Structure 1
Amino acid sequence: MDQPTVGILHPGSMGAAVAACAATNAAAVLWCEAGRSAASAKRAVQFGLTPVAALGELLDRSDIVVSLCPPAAAEDLAHDAAGHRFDGVYLEANAINPERAQRIASLLAPDATVVDGGVVGSPPVGGKTPTLYLSGPTAATERIGVLFEGTAVRTKSLGAEVGRASALKLAYASFQKTSRVLVALAVGMAREHGVDQELIEVASRRTDSYLSEPQYIAKTAARAWRWGPELEEAADTLAAAGLPPEMLRAAASTLARWHDVKDDGELTLIDALDRLAQP
């Protein structure tokens, strides 16, 4: 198969690095200069991307378009591509929800083939090797896989259903990013009372990720009747320190869905998750 021409929308820190990896197996990787910042131009030069003056030229010349931009802009970019009747493979690799990914696939059909993508990990520079999860039509996902063969971007297919890759990306991000915010709140609360170093010492004794222990969800549910009020107390403590309490109040509200399984030692993971899904 001939090497494809690839277009990147737009070369941010992740997009430019991913595009540079694609260049390994592409005839050229294009980016559109129109309306982009000096920082974008500098990144594009750094990663060896080829500039074009207008989006229409990028779309006309590209066999594969990679959309990696702030999530809010994802559908606008897809509308632009649809308006130009782009008819290649469109990799929708933004951190958007599955319904939006499916809307974009419908918007670009039947001219283009949309592959849903989700990048998990840091930009592929300095030895970092993120995984690009893919879902969508088999031939198109295989083509994306070939594009990144032998590069720092690993690919893994999740099947033919558009939205699966986006769901995995957001499920992971919801834990990973919320956890970082919770760290900030916990340390902020401890610092207000002069015990932040002691908190860090306590935490250093355990380095495992709770996300790797889903079996503990049932125990969490059984203890929700105690944990919810405890989090409300913690939220009050945050508020008294001038720190935002809303995240902990939301967690307490979530725990309230399990109040009817107080101290239920027989509860299974499936039971707990089913109850969580019921208002």
Structure 2
Amino acid sequence: MDQPTVGILHPGSMGAAVAACAATNAAAVLWCEDGRSAASVERAVGFGLTPVSTLAELLDRSDIVISLCPPAAAEDLARAVAGHSFAGVYVEANAINPERTQRIAALLPDATVADGGVVGSPPVGGKTPTLYLSGPADATARIETLFADTAVQAAVLGTEVGQASALKLSYASFQKASRVLVALAVGMAREHGVDQELIKVASRRTDSYLSEPQYVAKTAARAWRWGPELEEAADTLAAAGLPTEMLRAAAATLARWHGVKDDSELTLADALERLAQP
């Protein structure tokens, strides 16, 4: 099969890096300049992506479209694509719950929708995230081929749209909520002058987030993205008849950090101060 042309919707830090990996096995990787920020433009240029002027042009030229955007925008973006009757493969790779993924599939009757979930950091600097996939076998096979021999490891879970989303949110429920718990635990210990002892205790155990308190500042800077993701995971728990309070509470805690979006200069002390006094 000839190399496909790929369109990336919303080339953020993850999307742009994933798109750059796709370029290895694609004829071209397109992105739409319309309405994008200066930071998005800089990212796309840095990764060597090909600009187009309109969404219509991107969809007309693309065989495969990958949607990687903030969770809240996923359905609006799909509706915009549906308005152009896109008939290729649409990879819904956002951190949204399975029910929303299935709604998006229904919004795109002309397309073949593959469910995707990225676990891991953006594929730069030696990082190798996994793109889990589910949905029609022909579509997931094409995505596997697209990322063959790249830093993105594609893994097919099955043929049901929603499986990849469920795995992504199942992992996020623990991994991201655990980071929030670290902030609370370290903050409590710091208040009583025993935070260094807490870290020593935690360091006796392997793979403990409590031994990495420096990550609290990174958690704060990413809270604007992680909070909505945990709300999505909570919706998934609700659909299964399971309690949602823990994840709703974690999302509410993350909301206290919305004022430090992507602040790479934030320190642990600053993050804990904002947690106590938002």
Specify the TM-score bucket, using the shorter chain as the normaliser.
0.7 to 0.9
1:276 counterpart residue number: none
Which structure: larger Rg?
Answer: 1
1:21 counterpart residue number: 21
Q: How far does residue 50 in structure 1 lie from its aligned partner after superposition?
A: 0.4
Gaps (5+ residues) in structure 2? 210-244, 251-278
Q: How does 1:72-151 map to 2 (within 5 A)?
A: 72-109=72-109, 111-151=110-150
Gaps (5+ residues) in structure 1? 211-245, 252-279
Deviation track 1:96-145 (CA, whole Å, cap 9, x = no partner) reads 00000000111101x10000000000000000000000000000000000
Aligned letter for 1:106? Answer: A
1:221 counterpart residue number: none
Q: Structure 2 CA distance, aligned partners of 1:138 and 1:197? A: 51
Q: Structure 2 CA distance, aligned partners of 1:13 and 1:101? A: 22
Q: Structure 1 CA distance, aligned partners of 2:96 and 2:176? A: 15
1:184 counterpart residue number: 183
Q: How does 1:110-259 map to 2 (within 5 A)?
A: 111-208=110-207
1:33 counterpart residue number: 33
TM-score (norm 2): 0.75
3-state SS in 2 of match to 1:117: strand
Does the 8 A contact of 2:202 with 2:208 survive in 1? Answer: no
2:59 counterpart residue number: 59
Does the 8 A contact of 2:93 with 2:115 survive in 1? Answer: yes
Aligned letter for 1:194? Answer: G
2:238 counterpart residue number: none
Q: How far does residue 74 in structure 1 lie from its aligned partner after superposition?
A: 0.4
Q: Structure 2 CA distance, aligned partners of 1:26 and 1:68? A: 18
Instruction: Tell me: CA distance 1:247–1:140, structure 2 relative to 1, closer, same or farther (3 Å).
Output: closer
1:69 counterpart residue number: 69
Aligned letter for 1:15? Answer: G
Q: Structure 2 CA distance, aligned partners of 1:156 and 1:60? A: 28
Q: Structure 2 CA distance, aligned partners of 1:209 and 1:152? A: 26
Q: How far does residue 208 in structure 1 lie from its aligned partner after superposition?
A: 3.8
Aligned letter for 2:12? Answer: G
Instruction: Tell me: CA distance 1:209–1:105, structure 2 relative to 1, closer, same or farther (3 Å).
Output: farther
Does the 8 A contact of 2:118 with 2:168 survive in 1? Answer: yes
Does the 8 A contact of 2:99 with 2:162 survive in 1? Answer: yes
Q: Structure 1 CA distance, aligned partners of 2:167 and 2:248? A: 26
Q: State the percentage of identical aligned residues.
A: 84
TM-score (norm 1): 0.75
1:263 counterpart residue number: none
Aligned letter for 1:46? Answer: G
Instruction: Tell me: CA distance 1:250–1:23, structure 2 relative to 1, closer, same or farther (3 Å).
Output: closer
Aligned letter for 1:27? Answer: A
3-state SS in 1 of match to 2:158: coil
Q: Structure 1 CA distance, aligned partners of 2:46 and 2:113? A: 28
Over aligned residues, Cα RMSD in angstroms? 1.7
Q: How far does residue 207 in structure 1 lie from its aligned partner after superposition?
A: 1.5
Q: Structure 1 CA distance, aligned partners of 2:195 and 2:158? A: 46
Higher relative contact order (CA 8 A, sep 6+): 2
Aligned letter for 2:87? Answer: D
Q: How far does residue 174 in structure 1 lie from its aligned partner after superposition?
A: 0.7
Q: Structure 1 CA distance, aligned partners of 2:24 and 2:178? A: 35
Q: Structure 2 CA distance, aligned partners of 1:137 and 1:86? A: 17
Q: Structure 2 CA distance, aligned partners of 1:40 and 1:21? A: 17
Does the 8 A contact of 2:88 with 2:111 survive in 1? Answer: yes
